[in-house]
A and B are shown apart, each in its own frame.
Chain A
């Protein structure tokens, strides 16, 4: 796809102007903002940062497509109120990493599959994803082991490379190409030299990543369902849910009704298979009664069932679960064992 769309470049110093044009065109622009060492994806009103040398955002952009808390509909008494669903604003996400973009591509397979998820689709259709190729992966990253790469294009509309003085903008989807065309006066065609520079940077970044062997992991996991090996990692799991909340592909949610007197709303909120209440039947029966079954479920879903259902591993190697786990339960360790 990217071969027949020509990459463009823009001088870094002109990025603020481009940002201004994007905002003026009616898009809300979100980009990397440094906050005392941490980088978060925040709305930029004016000057965008020119720095793409961070590791990754603390939280994944999952919130933009599947918010932590989202209203499905509002009601009063027994009746649903009309216009319970509001229109979505146009957004541009600038600077997300290819692993997170790939995660969105994976979530598309679940949420856009028939019957399509109305709310997800609305947000997806109104958001442009400009990923920034990852030139300095962290030690907890392992995207190349799960089918991704620091310069991967799945899920992105445009892939951006920081070439030092200039930024190379590689369209990665028809929508991305369209978007670039709209601002074509700001950019120029990339030179052959720049294109080869980008290739070199991408290769260097990929070579820095340690590979974990995941050959045949889906079948191996499926065969190991009843194995005792699940007991050890689940013993120290606290069941806190942090891994699922920070994971860019974990998408389990809960639907609950909330009311104040008669008025109320039906909410969709993040849920986690790590919680015991997740599969608790009203009768009291729980098919996953202990942490062992729940830890096993998370791994089976990501590395085995997803392959059976969608042909892909549902892990993008971003490493957030490893960094944030309070008991240092390392996904990589569990897989290799």
Chain B
């Protein structure tokens, strides 16, 4: 995070859109590859998986988007954005070469130090998989992979067309360094893979909870069924980690909007342990 006490935290830094990739069949999820115009800004943007940034489009506003790239991917940032409102619609209408603003990195990352020497289980659903991609790429980097034990990932989407990062999913399914399970709620004629809801697949795969930490990111309905499943498999609440979404504006814990209980999702989160969530009011 920028430690410059005199810097104005509301001002974004300019970054150019170098590449736009359409991720899903409905064409409303796109991945934007961004590069800062200023070398100093690029160097100062030190982040870890799980953090997010406010993407700023002057005239429209800002949108908090999880960082999909891993810090091990140098020279650029990836953001996977779904078109839902004013800012994201405008972003989706961009062409490569456009300059937008980036404010960040913001929020607390996934607890990578806590993963040291442990088995890591990653569970993702739908379009919320973005920061988990960052985590997987980060953990697969050789210098990090050797510091954890087993790496398991269960990822599912509503339908084959809605799966994101399709190329990387294939790559990971063939890799020895990660046990990759991809599923869809309902397949189509060409789908030869697994079918089933993520919590169900989790039950089938039944990763061991011994010396393990689970990272979860998905829509509220998936979380609702995944938590009890993980607890049932023996994962203690402090070893279940989840990334939450909330309406945000300032991103730095001042505008008062994104709190759950006394914690701000932008500043104290978006990554929380299940143990923390249990002590907070159920308001999300």
Contacts and interface: CB of A to CB of B under 8 A. Distances in A.
Contacts of A268: 10
A257 B84 contact: no
A115 B252 contact: yes
B283 A288 contact: yes
A300 B250 CA distance: 21
B243 to A, nearest CB: 15
B211 to A, nearest CB: 33
A279 B246 CA distance: 8
A271 B9 contact: no
A251 B262 contact: no
Nearest to B13: A80
A77 B99 CA distance: 10
A290 interface: no
Contact of A266 (B58, B99, B255, B283): B58
Given A259-B59, A282-B85, A110 B247 contact: no
B257 A271 contact: yes
Interface residues of chain A: helix, strand, loop or mixed (majority): mixed
Given A72-B10, A251-B254, A283-B84, A301 B259 contact: yes
A113 B277 CA distance: 24
Contacts of B261: 222, 300, 305
Interface in B53-73: 57-62
Interface string A263-278: 0101010010100001
A16 interface: no
A54 interface: no
Given A78-B99, A78-B100, A305-B262, A255 B246 contact: no
A256 B58 CA distance: 10
B88 interface: yes
Contacts of B257: 252, 271, 273, 278-279
B259 A305 contact: yes
Given A118-B10, A225-B281, A254 B249 contact: yes
Contact of B256 (A119, A251, A255, A283): A251
Contact of B247 (A116, A222, A279, A301): A279
B62 A255 contact: yes
Contacts of A304: 262
Contacts of A80: 11-12, 14, 58, 101
B245 interface: yes
Interface in A179-212: none
A222 B262 CA distance: 10
Interface in B83-108: 84-85, 88, 98-101
B144 interface: no
A280 B84 CA distance: 13
B220 to A, nearest CB: 7
Nearest to A75: B58
Interface residues of A, number: 53
A118 B8 contact: yes
Max chain B Cβ within 10 angstroms of own Cβ: one of A115, A264, A282, A301: A115
A63 B60 CA distance: 26
Given A78-B100, A254-B249, A282 B2 contact: no
Interface string A26-70: 000000000000000000000000000000000000000000000
Contacts of A110: 253-254
A118 B4 CA distance: 12
B44 to A, nearest CB: 13
Contacts of A337: none
Contacts of A165: none
B193 interface: no
A299 interface: no
Contacts of B281: 225-226, 300
Contacts of A309: 262
Contacts of A115: 1-2, 7, 9, 252
Interface string A233-254: 0000000000000000001111
A111 interface: yes
B3 to A, nearest CB: 9
A257 B58 CA distance: 7
Nearest to B63: A282
Nearest to B99: A78
A293 B283 contact: yes
A78 B98 contact: yes
Contacts of A252: 255-257
B61 A257 contact: yes
Given A255-B249, A282-B85, A264 B259 contact: no
Given A253-B255, A271-B257, A301-B259, A280 B5 contact: no
26 contacts: A80-B11, A80-B14, A80-B58, A115-B2, A117-B10, A222-B261, A226-B281, A251-B254, A251-B256, A252-B256, A252-B257, A254-B255, A255-B249, A256-B61, A257-B58, A257-B61, A259-B59, A266-B58, A268-B10, A271-B256, A273-B257, A278-B257, A281-B245, A282-B85, A304-B262, A309-B262
**Top 9 A-B residue pairs of the complex, sorted by shortest distance between their CB atoms:** A305-B262, A252-B256, A118-B8, A282-B85, A75-B58, A282-B84, A115-B9, A308-B262, A259-B59
Given A117-B9, A252-B257, A282-B88, 4 more contacts: A114-B5, A119-B10, A279-B247, A297-B283
